Amino acid sequence: MLCVTVLEQAETSSPPRPRRGWPFAAIIAVGVLVFLVGGAGGSYQGKLSEVQKNDNASYLPASAESTKAGNESAKFTPIENLPGFVVFHRDGGLRAADRTAIASVATKARTLPGVDVSGVTPPQYSADGATAALYVPLVASKNGTALNGDQLLDHEKRVLSTARDAAPHGLAVHSAGPGGLLIAFIDAFSGLDSTLLLTAVVVIFLILLLVYRSIVLPFLPLISAGLALGLSSLVIYYLADAGTLTLTGQSQGILSVLVLGAGTDYALLLIARYREELHEYPPVDAMVAAWKASLPAIAASAATVTIGLLCLSFSELNSNKSLGPVSAIGIVCTLIVMTTFLPLALVLVPKLWFWPIPQLLAYVVPRLRRARPAGARGIFWTLGGSWVFWPRIPQRDHQSDIASHGLWGRVSRFVGAHHRAAWAGAVVVLLICLLGLTALKTDGLTTSEGFTSKPDAVVGQELYDANFDKGAGAPAVIVANAGSADAVIAAASKVDGVSREPGAVCVQPDYAKLAEAAKSAPAAPAQPSDGAAAGCVPPQLQVAPIDGRTVIDATLSDSYDSPAAYETVKRLRTAVHAVPGANAQVGGASAANLDVSTASVHDRNLIIPIVLLVIFVILAGLFRALIAPLLLIATVVLSFTATLGVCGFAFEHVFGFAGADQSFPLFAFVFLVALGIDYNIFLMTRVREEALQFGTREGVLRGLAVTGGVITSAGVVLAATFVVLGVLPLVFLAEVGFAVAFGVLLDTILVRSVLVPALAHDIGRFIWWPSKLSRAEP
């Protein structure tokens, strides 16, 4: 308290000073603590990749059939591998030197760390002789210990580097298969800490520079957002490391932009109110008044987003369950930083860091010299925290009532004069946007279609699919009672979509036994014998039953991540489930993708109503009314569906995406509704404040005039932040980024600026029913 008291200078012309009380001292203490902890936590942002999980287990619930089958099949081998291929291609056909080099790569691959040596098989060649494929699976888990994404990425890059070093000039080398595509996915997040964050920070800084036209002020919200990201990274790192929550690359990417976007929004609201109060009070008192006035709206906004995100905990998908608490932690940390450190920084930083500058300016800028005859020192102490707004420094002229001034004053008067035509026109525009809904495809994307660019693994996968059995390397894995194995094999072999090639449906080989057999008799590989189906290894080289269960591999005719493969898995499950006494379960990569898709649809249908109910309860408590929350939720839902319509058109006709993931509507809904309702909270809390003094209809116009600029600026910042997700070459994030950005702008410019105030003005005081405010005016 002493350090702040020394920094202020009371003036007799000021209105009564706002009461400070214990929260003021607490803000200072917490702000200092946040600065220290958040600064130390910054290093953990780069360490989050160490605790990331991006395999199917990170997405699927334990109850999924593919999860159960995977857990059982893992018992049959101490090593769980990640299937993958190295694909070699030369236009015009492979040469003798190429084949020699490919054979040498097969030998070298067995010596590389991270490679499942027992799974490496001899190269296979295409019918036209131009392409070869070498099966090189990576070790994904050994003795129950899973490798993280960075380790898998290093091992895959080492395999490709070895292959490319051995390849003669002109021989193209690519990765392929589930492993190669997963590594490409993990690699897409490798620029998260640099490209994504740097782009987001630059974009936000430029927008803040335009908004404030101040050299110093834009740095403070960004520094605060950086501290919030560091604080949340610290918390998330230790929780993920302890296994309390699951962190995926997708969650980390969204966390970064969410903290930056939401943090800047909260900062804009606080700074706008601080600037307004500086017309009445010296800096410290102005900040106390601004903090007390803006805290309810900021806290309600953060609570809405946090609880809305936590509703994802009802998801079946682990990835959604992960995103909920990860993002909620980010929002809570952002709220703490923006309501403690930022107010402290706005008041103290200009005095402590930039003290020589006002003294210098006092001698070169006549306006400043006239502002305080006492000289440079007097200017320094008087301006204090208000100096962050230089060169547009607010003066204590007691003219804080700006409701009738500027662009937004004219907008509010227009809305008031034409309220019915305004809201009707806004509704028509939103209904027109809905027409694009028919073009929105949410049937899912193949892994190859999930990239906005064409990474090496996609090129390799296309070559592989064009020349080899598409289903090889990623079979459906059937776990069944050993006594029913023959019946299960017979049933699976008849399923449409299962390969008819010899050896397509067999009891899984024991690769350790195969490796030993190859060492003892490399020139005479084992042939099928009595008890082995055509193309299958003999029983003595198959996995031995464990607890009466065995594993059967069924090769599919289609690529593992195609819709056709998913339909085959459905038919396969129906067939093997019908085998009496088999207790068969179907897993594998295709089954896991299918289960993810099914769970996404379940989560969407369950969580959207829950989020709406939670938001309604929060708004009802905030406004002490029922009509206003219903109005706000209805307008945001209309805005959300209109955004989906625009997305349907844009994804197909502008961006050329093949479609959208099944979880896209849920993610878009949670972020758009939770974040979109923020701006309505910012608007309507100010409207209610003004309505208490001037009446509802006048309060609507004054609230719109006062908050219009800051909320629009906040919307532009948030939209620009989410657009930055497009720098990562993943269709899902690009689509979510576009949807949130467009939806926020639509909500900010049309819904919050026209539709909501026009409707509120038309409804009048009844909007606050059943609170006393609904009866406060005639």
Of 169, 187, 205, which residue sits at a domain end?
A: 187
Distance CA 292, CA 288 (A): 6
Instruction: Convert the pLDDT of each residue in 391-425 to its tens digit.
Output: 667 666 555 554 445 788 888 888 888 989 999 99
E strand map for 186-245: none
570 is in which domain, residue-wise?
A: 475-508+528-587
Number of domains in the chain: 3
Contact 60, 317 (CB under 8 A): yes
Residue keyed to tokens 């606050």 = 768
Q: Compute CA distances 765 → 172, 568, 705, 708, whole Å.
A: 72, 60, 19, 21
Q: What is the chain's mean pLDDT, rounded? A: 81
> Which has the closest alpha carbon to 544: 75, 145, 79, 82?
75
pLDDT at position 86: 93
- Domain presence at residue 723: yes
CB of 722 within 8 A of CB of 257? yes
Model confidence at 264, pLDDT cuts 50, 70, 90, reads confident
Asked if residue 435 and residue 537 are part of one domain, the reply reads: no
Residue 331 maps to a domain: no
The pair phi, psi for residue 616, each rounded to 5°, is -60, -45
Do 633 and 551 sit in the same domain of this protein? no
Q: What is the pLDDT confidence band of residue 58, given thresholds at 50, 70 and 90? A: low
Residue range 683-700: mean pLDDT, rounded:
88
Report yes or no on 775 lying in a domain.
Answer: yes
Q: What is the CATH number of the domain that holds 625?
A: 1.20.1640.10
- 766 and 714 within one domain: yes
Domain assignment present for residue 126? The answer is yes
Q: How confident is the model at residue 692 (pLDDT cuts 50, 70, 90)?
A: confident
Provide mean pLDDT across the span 656-684.
84
Q: Could you please report the per-residue DSSP string of 384-435?
A: GGGGGGTTSPPP--S----TTSHHHHHHHHHHHHTHHHHHHHHHHHHHHHGG
Residue 409 shares a structural domain with residue 536: no
From the list 607, 394, 694, the residue with the least C-alpha distance to 703 is 694
pLDDT in the model for residue 533: 64
In the three-class reduction of DSSP (H, G, I as helix; E, B as strand; rest coil), residue 86 is classed as: strand
Residue 324 lies in a domain: no
pLDDT reported for residue 591:
92
pLDDT higher at 678 or 683: 683
Same-domain check for residues 632 and 698: yes
Candidates 735, 739, 727; CA nearest to 189 is: 727
Of 537, 569, 587, the position where a domain reaches its end is 587
pLDDT digits (tens, 9 = 90+) for 146-177: 777 678 888 888 999 999 999 999 999 999 88
Residue 415 lies in a domain: yes
Banded model confidence at residue 377, pLDDT cuts 50, 70, 90: very low
Listed residues 172, 187, 202: the one ending a domain: 187
Q: Are 464 and 126 in contact (CB under 8 A)?
A: no
Residue 279 lies in a domain: no
Average pLDDT over residues 736-751: 90
Question: Do 658 and 768 lie in a common domain?
Answer: yes
* pLDDT value at residue 140: 81
Claim to verify: residue 600 and residue 543 sit in the same structural domain = no
What value does the mean pLDDT take over residues 67-94?
Answer: 87
616 shares its domain with 760? yes
Do 606 and 742 share a domain, yes or no? Answer: yes
* Percentage, residues of the chain above pLDDT 70: 84
Q: Are 232 and 255 in contact (CB under 8 A)?
A: yes
- Answer yes or no: do 705 and 574 share one domain: no
CATH number where 135 lies: 3.30.70.260
Q: Give the number of other CB atoms < 10 A from CB of residue 129.
A: 14
pLDDT value of position 7: 37
Q: Does 180 have pLDDT greater than 70?
A: yes
Residue 7 in any domain: the answer is no
Note whether 580 and 661 are same-domain residues: no
440 with 535, same domain?
no
